[in-house]
Structure 1
Amino acid sequence: MNTKAVIFGLLITSFIIGNIYRFSFFSPQVRISFLDISVIILTIVSLVRNKGRIIIKSVAVFAVVSLFSLLLSTRYGLPAQMIGSFYWLRWVMYTSLPILFANSVSSLSLRRLMIILSLVIISVSWLQYIYFPDIRPWFYLGWDLHYYRVAGSFLDPGFTGLMLVFILIYLSISPLRSLPVSSLLWGLAYLGLALTYSRSSYLAFLVAMAYIALVNHSAKFFTLILLLFTLTIFWLPRSPDGEGVKLERTRSIQARLDSWRNGLIIWRDHPLLGVGFNVYRYAQKEYGFITSADWQQTHAGSGVDSSLLFVGATTGIIGLAAYLYYLRYLYSVSSPLLRASLLAVLSHSLFLNSFFYPFVLVWLSLIFVFSKVDISPPLHS
């Protein structure tokens, strides 16, 4: 089996399809994407290649704590625990991807794959914006009412914006050999980011660029970025029919504040181990925070608009400490490319559950290996 070809084929196809097609698996709450299927296949390949020995010590502590919290969530019943177990297993598989990448793909091949995926993200984002600017018909499937915003195949301007920020970070730190081509891609990714109208993605971009300027001791670089960003915000087109293109919009701010408040209340009542990993939807229903008939399907019910608050509410202070240990280790041993990307996700995750978004996990996995990071540190480090 040509493992590299399998990895390339599955990931490229997954990023093209994105979230356009997903199907339910034994419950309306469990939505399977092509990327999920791809990761399952890649996990099986990795198990075969490594003879069943896959240990990722850097994530072992949080994996154990989150599983323990899930096992204790008996109050929500076996169906809730089964759904939570599926998402727990999915997270473990996604965080295991660096093992397969490191054993199967060279650094040069990884660079090629990241460039191809960058082209896919940029191309699909622009095609969607030009030919399908109105994705409001997808509302019945649980997506938000986005109009004249870059949403890409992920159908979400916030997460599409973060993926475009990743591309901008990559091209800023590791540009292509052809400077004109690299500059063109940077420009297309930047304009795509601007047209997401995603304020969390804007913040992630500025934080990442500030870090790049800092490590390169270049105040001029960040000054130019700020000037470009200011001019961009001033000249951004505003559609009269789209609430989402108004950067001063307050509806999403209020929804986010409500999400944070709900998460803090649930965490306050379950401080040590939370309500159980990924059974947050059931906790919200119990508290009366979601009351609609489609409570099992609505995206708003599954998590908090903050990754760290999500970890705290579902796995408690113990789980949050374990997760911060994991992030701290990654940051402490990583390259500027990975550090800039982690800082971008961290700032973005203040407003969305970015650290658990599947496509983000795949991209970070690629960077882990490309940056030659040791992904299996000792537990005592």
Structure 2
Amino acid sequence: MADIELRNVSKRYTNRVAAVEDVNLHIRDGEFMIFLGPSGCGKSTTLRMIAGLENISGGELFIGGKRMNDVAPRDRNIAVVFQSYALYPHMTVAENLAFGLKMHKRPQNEIEERVKRVSAMLGIGQFLERKPAALSGGQRQRVALGRALVRDPAAFLLDEPLSNLDAQLRADMRLELVKLHRQLGSTIIHVTHDQVEAMTMGERICIMKDGRVVQVGAPLDVYRNPANTFVAGFLASPPMNLIEARLVGEGDTLWVEAGALRLRVPAAYREAYRVYVDKPVIFGIRAEDIHAHQAQPDWQVLDANVVALETLGAEVVLVMGISGIARADIAARLGRDYRAQIGSRQQLYVDLAEMQLFDPQTTNAVPRPQA
């Protein structure tokens, strides 16, 4: 069993600055968990506390039901893969893979069998006699993963292992890691600041900010129901459009108003949002919920001025402004054939079934029923 539980775990340094504050998280046995957040949010520090590379200032850590606060890193049966690969440059690939097993005084025949099996699994068998300097970045990363795999640990902790790779290699390694997890069934914690990695790899995402856990959930649940404006603006590229607005009531109908923007709130959300009538709100809508054509009769018209057009091959991201809204450019993710002149006025259509409202004081999402 390699379920990992953090109970009120904190990390404070000598200057009393809290790098991690009061983290409560249960990572299930065999789960692929992503720690996601901007630089300095505490995700790597949390990972290092689980590994035993940082002391825990407060709270308790359990691995497989056993309290681990005072257990040495080598006795936790956990493997760590670092961003820098951390390979021994004077050793061959085979020697790097075997090093940990030799330190644990495993029999030579067992070491050779494990190195052969893991190198075949990762496709690095032909590099066993090379040294790290003779390998590409992707090959070095595979060796770093292999050195962790060969120990057959209870859990793998990956600290931004793909960040040094180019875009194509990152995509390839994402797929390899997912396949590896399915094959091994081991617990994996993967630290990243890359939203694509988080959405495509993890079974659950733990989003952190300023040393605290902000939201934990399945990738699509977090994406569609962000807990606050930070999650809404951080998870996805382009991020959710967030517009300072006001909620206006006219009889049974509610409207979101901001400058020239005036959109009718779906009937399903009226009761949930009615408490904010005549109050400021933050209106949120994803870029993919703004469309070039009205495919559904309840999609509402949005008139906007074209600010920029980002042609990405598979899609076009339209950046636009709305009269009377000075501090927000709005992004729409449109089909690859969409074209418009910069500065022109365009009519688009918004699917308000996917709208979000946030409280401007707390920045928390206003709970809503499913449409």
Confirm or deny a common fold (TM above 0.5): no
Task: Normalising by structure 2, report the TM-score.
Answer: 0.24
Structure ranking higher in helix proportion: 1
- Larger of the two Rg values belongs to structure: 2
Tell which has more relative contact order, 1 or 2 (C-alpha 8 A, sep 6+).
1
Structure 1 or 2: more strand by fraction:
2
